[in-house]
Amino acid sequence: MATRQVGLTETVLRDAGQSLIATRLPYDKMEPILDKLDSAGFYSLECWGGATFDVCLRYLNEDPWERLRKLRAGLPNTKLQMLLRGQNILGYKHYSDDVVRRFVRASVRNGIDIIRIFDALNDVDNLRVAIEETLAAGAMASGTISYTTSPVHTLDAYVAMVKELQAMGVSSICIKDMSGIMTPNSAYDLVSAIKDAVPELPLVVHTHSTTGTGFMTYLKAVEAGADVIDTAISPFSGGTSQPTTETMAVTLRELGYDTGLNEHVLYEIADYFKPIRNAYIDDGTLNPIALTTDASCLEHQIPGGMLSNLLSQLKMMNALDKYDEALKETPRVREDLGFPPLVTPTSQIVGNQAVNNVLAGERYKNVSNEVKGYCRGEYGKTPAPIKPEILQKVLGDEQPMTQRYADTLPTDIFEKAEAELGDRATCEEDVLSYIAFPQVAEKFFADRKEAQERVVAYSIKKVEE
């Protein structure tokens, strides 16, 4: 019997850093290890998308498109992967189809091979355009389930979603367990059900070590037929990040699976990242608590990032004494709103409303604009119907929309943005950055121009001398 292959996607350049150090790893700390990463034998390297785009522009003074091009040049033998929020692209609201298509094409043109495409509500209508354009651009589209549990998130419901994704032509299926709440038994059952339904599609499993189940979950997922798992090199693994790459590689090898990895190179990569990790601990960027296990999430099922947001909100309101109350209110709001998976942006929508309810002393007395938009249908179809009494309280006599929200958006957003920017934009990618994060991009363009002018002035001065 042939040895079954199991690929590993390394996340240190994206999700591991996003989970542990708020995506603050700059390109100059990636560059020296790119050759080792490229020779390790990974199925893919997740290196772009998620929060990287915003953080590059906002905090690191990097052009995210230029970072991608550099990564592509430094990793010629490895598939580069990004995370895309479907119709939300990399932001927190929906964009027009034209903008989504342009962004996908530009991502592939600048070096991306695999786009993992998810939607916070698992609404496949919010995935369709990005999937179509990814495939048309010649890249691999990984249709993604945002994993959660609720009375409506059953095996049958997930399999039905997978079949819809298969009909769209996806290259693979991904189970995205963003909270680390998928237990080993649940993983085995879900992977088995999906492999039975669509055996011809590669299946990827993504989890976090938050609750301590990650390693066990991966082993049971692989046993059930998973083809790829996401891991993080040891210095940036564990806690809110992924299970450890080296550990999974050795374990799978000893169990008779072929990962295709050069384990010696993995240890060299780990040695490189150890002092980088330690420096982030020393300067406070990496809170050691993020590296620990918090099993309570298995009970309340609230992601770690969402918990920190709740605490931050309450602290700003001098209401930390309301934390336990807000924690209890969160699942109630989630049920009211149709059991959305708790991932960006729905985690913020649910969490903020839970805090509003607790602080006001009355449920839905103060309703955020995001909750109003959610109830109107601006984020897509909810997994279960929103409770009628909540709809009435939030919208009054206004009726939720029945069509796809993106179909109501203007179709000339790109052209208008291009005109607004004028010569501040040097390429299509600049316009897309501006559409995604207008104020942040404008500041970045201004700083970039100022730096270029200083270089020109210095060069002229040297010539005159």
> What's the pLDDT tens digit per position in 247-263?
999 999 999 999 999 99
CA 90/CA 95 separation, integer angstroms: 10
* pLDDT score recorded for residue 155: 98
Is 207 in contact with 195 (CB distance < 8 Å)? no
List, as one string, the DSSP characters of 214-259: HHHHHHHHHHHT--EEEEB-GGG-STTSPPBHHHHHHHHHHTT-B-
Task: Determine phi and psi for 59, rounding to 5 degrees.
Answer: -120, -30
CA 133/CA 141 separation, integer angstroms: 9
Tokens of 397: 């006599």
With 0-12 CB in 10 A as exposed, 13-18 as middle and 19+ as buried, what is 285?
middle
> What's the pLDDT tens digit per position in 10-63?
999 999 999 999 999 999 999 999 999 999 999 999 999 999 999 999 999 999
The structure's pTM equals 0.95
* pLDDT score recorded for residue 298: 86
Residue closest to 49 by CA, chosen among 8, 106, 6: 106
Residue closest to 264 by CA, chosen among 275, 250, 254: 250
* Rg over CA atoms, the chain: 22
CA 392/CA 400 separation, integer angstroms: 10
Tokens of 130: 């990005």
* pLDDT score recorded for residue 2: 62
Tokens of 177: 């367990």
Say how many CA atoms lie within 13 Å of 96 toward its Cβ: 15
* pLDDT score recorded for residue 344: 83
**Is the C-alpha dihedral spanning 132, 134, 138, 139 positive or negative?**
negative
* pLDDT score recorded for residue 310: 81
Residues of the chain whose pLDDT is less than 70? 1-2, 304-305, 308, 465
> What's the pLDDT tens digit per position in 383-427?
999 999 999 999 999 999 999 999 999 999 999 999 999 999 999
* pLDDT score recorded for residue 178: 92
CA 8/CA 229 separation, integer angstroms: 5
Tokens of 416: 């208008």
Task: Determine phi and psi for 406, rounding to 5 degrees.
Answer: -60, -25
Q: Where are the beta strands (DSSP E) in 15-66?
A: 44-49
